[in-house]
């Protein structure tokens, strides 16, 4: 690796100081680097460090997926589910990366028209004071109708985000599948459904609706928009110590008793 990029979010406190520290660490090890803001991303890097929260990583991942550039997250946000280390672990992490003590995990993404999502697409009616009717089709075949506040179509990576809070299952990120989760459905029999990532998903509605990509890009939803697997995948760098289930335990307090304490 010759060209290191450092992507940072100027809106996050301490992002600039961590960026400067990372530049110095790389320089001390004889590595060249260039910093770029998430609002002015550019191609041409062999490896990209991303400083910020999950939102920063999502935006960066969508941009660099088409270039197959590996990205490594340094958490400055609240949860940091997609990041690998905190700023206190920076020097050790760089050492491991330069020693090739890491793996690159290809995370499947979603596509709808000109938009791509690593976490999810969320479809909601524009009238926030009432529910909307959504008809679901898979591979052109009718599945069911939902009377709900919206629908979430999520990747395994996004299954621990909005889909989880809406009652969806946690999917291991290595699975080739999507999950469809209704938001506040007005029936007790409406449940999330997991489908292979080869399926073509169509959602129909007679009402005006908005669709969002990773909660960051919003545009008018049209019923002729299909949602399917993207031709691109996000290349997330994982240190050799990474273990998905331990992340669930540590960052989501998975299966811990409410009164649990160390």
Three-class SS string for 155-199? CCHHHHCHHHHCCCCCCCCCCCEEEEEEECCCCCCCCCEEEECCC
Q: What is the pTM of this model?
A: 0.91
Annotated catalytic, 54? yes
Mean pLDDT value of segment 72-93:
84
The token pair that represents 145 in the structure block: 């109708």
pLDDT-based confidence at 77, cuts 50/70/90?
low
Quote the mean pLDDT of the chain.
Answer: 91
Mean pLDDT value of segment 131-147:
94
pLDDT-based confidence at 68, cuts 50/70/90?
very high
Mean pLDDT value of segment 47-52:
95
d(CA 185, CA 151): 9
pLDDT-based confidence at 257, cuts 50/70/90?
low
pLDDT > 90? residue 217: yes
Of the candidates 56, 52, 99, 58, the residue with the CA atom closest to the CA atom of residue 77: 52
Residue 117, CB-side half-sphere exposure with 13 Å CA sphere: 29
- Per-position b or e across 81-119, b if 16+ CB within 10 A of its CB: bbbbbebeebeebbebbbeeebeebebbbbbbeebbbbb
pLDDT on residue 169 = 95
76 vs 133, residue with greater confidence:
133
- Domains in the chain, ordered, with CATH? 4-100 (3.40.50.10330), 111-230 (2.60.200.30)
pLDDT on residue 1 = 65
Mean pLDDT value of segment 250-257:
74
Mean pLDDT value of segment 1-9:
89
pLDDT-based confidence at 261, cuts 50/70/90?
low
Name the catalytic one among 54, 120, 149, 214: 54
């Amino acid at each position: 690796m010759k060209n290191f990029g450092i992507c940072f979010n100027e809106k996050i406190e301490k992002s600039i100081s961590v960026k400067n520290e990372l530049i110095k660490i790389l320089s001390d090890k004889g590595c060249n680097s260039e910093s770029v803001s998430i609002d002015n991303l550019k191609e041409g890097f062999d490896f990209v460090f991303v400083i910020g929260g999950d939102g920063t990583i999502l935006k960066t991942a969508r941009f660099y997926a088409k270039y197959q550039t590996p990205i490594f997250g340094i958490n400055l946000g609240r949860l940091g589910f997609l990041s690998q280390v905190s700023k206190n672990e920076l020097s050790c992490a760089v050492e491991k990366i330069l020693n090739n003590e890491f793996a690159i995990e290809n995370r499947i993404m979603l596509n709808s028209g000109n938009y791509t999502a690593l976490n999810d697409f969320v479809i909601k009616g524009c009238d926030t004071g009432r529910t909307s009717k959504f008809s679901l089709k898979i591979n052109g075949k009718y599945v069911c109708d939902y009377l709900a506040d919206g629908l979430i179509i999520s990747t395994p990576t996004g299954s621990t985000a909005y889909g989880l809070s809406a009652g969806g299952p946690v999917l291991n990120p290595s699975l080739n599948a999507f999950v469809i989760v209704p938001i506040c459905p007005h029936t007790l029999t409406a449940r999330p459904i997991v489908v292979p990532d080869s399926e073509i998903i169509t959602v129909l509605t007679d009402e005006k609706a908005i669709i969002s990509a990773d909660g960051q890009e919003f545009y008018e939803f049209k019923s002729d928009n299909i949602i399917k697997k993207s031709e691109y995948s996000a290349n997330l760098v994982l240190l050799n110590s990474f273990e998905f289930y331990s992340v669930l335990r540590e960052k989501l307090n998975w299966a811990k008793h409410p009164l649990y304490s160390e």
